Structures are given as C-alpha cells and as structure tokens.
Structure 1
Amino acid sequence: MALSDNLIVDRYPTRTAEPVAHIERSDATVWGTIESDSLASFDADGFAMIDALLDPTEVADLTDEVVGLTKDPDLWLDDRLIIEKSANRVRSIFEVHRLSARVGDLVRESRIVGLARQVLGSEVYIHQSRVNFMPGFQGTGFYWHSDFETWHAEDGMPAPRAVSLSIALTDNYPYNGSLMVMPGSHRTFVPCQGVTPTEHYRESLRQQQFGVPTEADITELANKHGIAQFTGRAGSALLFDSNLMHGSANNITPFPRSNIFLVFNSVENTLVEPFAADAPRPTYIGSRDFTPVR
C-alpha cells in the first residue's frame, strides 16, 4: 500500500489464518496536552467519564431528533439505518451528524471536538457517527471488541490515533446494558483470526462474527485489567481510545438505553486501503472526507 509514495507498514496485523500473540502498543495514547481535569485518567485507563456534558434540555432536543429519524419511512429504505438481526427494530443509525442538524451542530462545539483535539494533538475529522438504540426488554448488546481492529482491518486506519465520544441520551444503569470497558486494555492490540468476508459490514453491524477476540483473549485481558462500567445520568459521556476493549450485555430491564457515538480521527491518521479486507466499507461507516471539524 502507498500513501504519498511512502510504504504503509502494517504494525497491527489482524484477521490472520492462525492465532498470533498480542501486540503491545507502540503508539502514544495521548498525543496532545490534556487541559481538562475530566480527562486526567485517559492516558492510564484509555477512557474518561464526563459528568453532565449535556444539560437536560439538550438531551431532550437530541432525543426528539433521533427518535424522529427512526420514524422516517425514507430512512428505513436507507443503508444507514441498521435493523436488529432478530427483530424489526432499529439497532443503529449511521452518519447521524449529517442526518440531524442538531447533532451536526453539536459535533462542532468546542466542548465536544475540543476533547478529541486534546487527546489526539491535532485537528480532527469525523470518521464515523451513529446513534445506538437498546430498548427495554429486547435490547441486544455488542460483544467484546476493539473498534480499532475493525477500523484498521476494514477501513484502513493506520494507527489507533482516534477516539470515540459516547453521549448518553438515557440514564445508563449497571443493569440496562451499559457499556463495559477494560481499563488499560488500550495498550494491547489483540489480533483476530479469519478472512474478512466480502461486504462483511452488512452482517457485522447487526452481529459481528469476524474481528472479535477469542474467549481466551477476553479472559486474559479481564484477569489483567478488570472490568469497569460507564454509568451515569442522561447527558453524561464517555471518551475512550479506539483500541480499548469494550462491550455490552443485552438489556432485559424495562429501562431503555440510547447513546450517540461520535468518532474523531486525527487528520494525521487518515485512511489508506484496508489492511485485511478486499475493499473499504461504505463512507457512511468509515468516512473518507478528511475535512477537519471547524
């Protein structure tokens, strides 16, 4: 692969034929200067929880907006709307910052994009945005994974110089499918096995089967790092490293859980050809518009 006539070296090989050893991260976690006290734990843990990032009025407005999207009949014919594998319910809506003017405006606010700039030490662009819905009683979780493994393998992201900001639109309790994370796991890259199927994204966005660690991998990381949970009132947020191991259980409670995810990538880490797939995923999943957020 080439970018500006320079060979792109794959320092994080994955989707291998046989199991290979974990790779200790050679890249920084914090590339810039942390200015916010709320991000003080980011380098060590790979994440930081931010209380009351949005106020109740903002949460209500955003919730009305994204719920309205789920009722748009035209969007149900759009690939950006993902349906649950086991039921005719909305699981996720991608490119939500383009579909929703409110979300688009939110992305550009300094209190939002500024968090990513502090960690990544550069201008940033939106690699991906989505809203995830986990309704009461029937919400399906997300198995343990590192986002970077997929973004590297299937989108062509060279290094883990990206962060996700998960903003809670509902209260996140320990029991309604809240996100589980392994503190410190961002420093270890876990290669996965298997050849990426053609157009894998069509299944993986509903239920991922390739690009997931083995039970032995998860056991080793959990024994080493432990497991924490992102809980908090609606409006709270979690900023986390792209290589942090995370996942969520099913929601069998009456209390729904919905979150907006904004993924910021450094403009110095733009995508090349996929490292372990035959073609890049669609741009609504992995953007190839590297225009900095202004």
Structure 2
Amino acid sequence: MKLTQDQVEQFHREGYIFMPEAFTPEEVTLMREAALDIFRTPRPEIWMEKSGVPRTAFACHTYNPVFRTLAAHPRLVEPVEQIFGERCYVHQFKVNAKSAFSGDVWQWHQDFVTWHNDDGMPEPRAMNISVFLDDVLPINGPLMLVPRSQGSGAIEAGHDTTTTAYPLWTLDDRTVAELVEQGGIVAPTGKAGGLLMFHGNLVHGSAGNITPYPRKIVYLTLSAVSNAITRPTRPEWIAHRDFTPLQALADDALLAHRAAPVAAE
C-alpha cells in the first residue's frame, strides 16, 4: 500500500496520518481473538497494571502467528519504506490493553527519547504504527497527539518510574502546555481496524479508561535498517536485536489464519 502525496505531505507537516477502517472486520476479528488469547496466558513479556490487569503484551509477533503476519503486512511496511526510502525492521511490537474500568494513563512523551536513551537508537527514523482492535471512542482513553510537535526535535525529559507500572521518559506540564498552545490536541477515533502512523518525536499520551469499553491497540515501531539500535539496555523482547529487513507479505495474508471449515459427516 502506497501513501498518496497528500498523506506524505500531512505526515511531514502534522507528524501523523490516520486511515479509518484500513483493516476489514474479518481481519480485526482474527487479531482481536489473538490478543485475547495472549492476555489469558501469563508470560514474562506481558506487563501488568498496578491494579493487576494486563497493560502491555510485548513481542507477541515472535510467538503468535497472526501478529507475526501483521508485522510484515504491506499496509504497514510499504508506507514506512516509502517515508524513509529504505527497508525497515521491527524495533518493537506490543498490544496495549487499556482494559475497561482499569486501563491506566500513558503520560505525555516522545517515543524517540526512550528509544535513544534506553536503546541507543541514533535518529528518529522509526515509525509508530497503531492498529485499532476495538472501537476507539472519545471516552475510552484514545491516544492524544500534539500536531507538529515533532518539529521541536527530541525534548529534554524526565524518567518517570512511579506514575504507572511502566517506566517512561516523560515531559513536564509546562513543556506540554507550550506545545499544545502551538499545535492543539487531536485524538483520532473510529471503528476497529483504524490505522494510525506517527513520527517518533510526536508528543502523545492517553488518559485512563474508566468506561466499560476496552481499547486494545496494536503498536508497532518499524525502524529504518540503517537506524538500528546500538546500545540496548532493555530486554530483547522490548527492544529487538534482530535487524533483518521485513519482506512485505501479500495483502490478504491475515485471512490465511481463518479456521478451516469443519467437514460435513
């Protein structure tokens, strides 16, 4: 899948692109069921909220066939290669649960700061990709973005290890207020199957979810191969060391995971 010229220009100007319903309901069902199966089984790669519910399942593309397919899906890989002008690899893959009633906040931050400080990523030549597995509503903790904030480069951040169960390099309130005054806040919402791509330096965060509506989202970070990390400090299942370029699969590859029909007796 190639981006249009308008989409490319929007990405460079605003720092993000949103494509509603980029995946079909059938494809979403396969991915949602895969995510539910993952969250049912305790694994070291699954990070829990302080309340005890799942927060994030890391690296599930390494052991789940549906998400292995998604990681190499052409609707994700080809636009990233188009933007960067080179092949890419999976730097990080995770499913964020944002559980009903108890999904916690993600503080305001830029992802590249973490990739650089904790993983030794040289430049912000890595793309964040979000695939909605549930309907993302204005009320159930949608991801909030500060348009054009990527133009500020990497901003000095503090390492927050107390607010939530997951340590993060976060921005102070004054910095966020100044950036929002310039660019505002947008919160892409829509039906399951939506696809969001945004710059590694785009400031973003999300509020907690106190509604009955879960908000599961797949997050991938695809990095240019020339931008591979140099001094990782986090586990391999958070910051991957396999820099093999992705080979995009066929566009209908997810549908190969449909259960085979039961033969009539």
The equivalent residue for 1:81 is: 46
Return the letter of the residue paired with 1:53: A
Shift of 1:115: 1.5
The equivalent residue for 1:293 is: 246
Shift of 1:183: 0.4
> Are 2:235 and 1:282 aligned?
yes
Q: TM-score, normalized by length of structure 2?
A: 0.87
The equivalent residue for 1:19 is: none
- Greater fraction helix: 2
Residue identity (%): 33
Supply the distance in 2 between the matched residues of 1:205 and 1:115 (Cα, whole angstroms). Answer: 33
Match of 2:72 among 100, 108, 112: 108
The equivalent residue for 2:254 is: none
Shift of 1:173: 0.9
The equivalent residue for 1:24 is: none
The equivalent residue for 2:117 is: 153
Match of 1:216 among 159, 170, 174: 174
Supply the distance in 2 between the matched residues of 1:272 and 1:135 (Cα, whole angstroms). Answer: 34
Q: Equivalences for 1:91-240 in 2 at 5 Å?
A: 91-188=55-152, 189-193=154-158, 206-208=165-167, 211-240=169-198
> Are 2:22 and 1:53 aligned?
yes
Unaligned runs of 5+ in 2: 248-265
Supply the distance in 2 between the matched residues of 1:140 and 1:71 (Cα, whole angstroms). Answer: 19
What number of residue pairs does the alignment pair up?
245
> Are 2:32 and 1:63 aligned?
yes
Supply the distance in 1 between the matched residues of 2:222 and 2:81 (Cα, whole angstroms). Answer: 9
Return the letter of the residue paired with 1:286: A
The equivalent residue for 2:212 is: 254
Return the letter of the residue paired with 2:30: D
Return the letter of the residue paired with 1:239: M
The equivalent residue for 2:263 is: none
Query: For each residue in 1:195-228, what CA deviation from the matched residue of structure 2 results, as whole angstroms up to 9, or x when unmatched?
Result: x9xxx7xx798243x5211111111111111100
Query: For each residue in 1:56-89, what CA deviation from the matched residue of structure 2 results, as whole angstroms up to 9, or x when unmatched?
Result: 00101111111011112xxx2x32110102x121
The equivalent residue for 1:17 is: none
Supply the distance in 2 between the matched residues of 1:111 and 1:133 (Cα, whole angstroms). Answer: 22
Cα pair 1:40 1:48 within 8 Å, conserved:
no
Residue 241 and residue 67 in structure 1: after superposition, are their counterparts in 2 closer, same or farther (change >3 A)?
same
Q: Over aligned residues, Cα RMSD in angstroms?
A: 1.9
Q: Matched residue of 1:126: which SS? A: strand
Query: For each residue in 1:211-263, what CA deviation from the matched residue of structure 2 results, as whole angstroms up to 9, or x when unmatched?
Result: 21111111111111110011111000100111110000011111110100111
Cα pair 1:165 1:261 within 8 Å, conserved:
yes
Residue 65 and residue 34 in structure 1: after superposition, are their counterparts in 2 closer, same or farther (change >3 A)?
closer
Cα pair 1:66 1:100 within 8 Å, conserved:
no
Supply the distance in 1 between the matched residues of 2:5 and 2:94 (Cα, whole angstroms). Answer: 25
Cα pair 1:184 1:244 within 8 Å, conserved:
yes
Return the letter of the residue paired with 1:176: N
Of residues 129-138 and 36-45 in structure 1, the stretch that sits farther from structure 2 once superposed is 36-45
Shift of 1:102: 0.7
Supply the distance in 1 between the matched residues of 2:45 and 2:6 (Cα, whole angstroms). Answer: 36
Return the letter of the residue paired with 1:80: E
Supply the distance in 2 between the matched residues of 1:262 and 1:46 (Cα, whole angstroms). Answer: 16
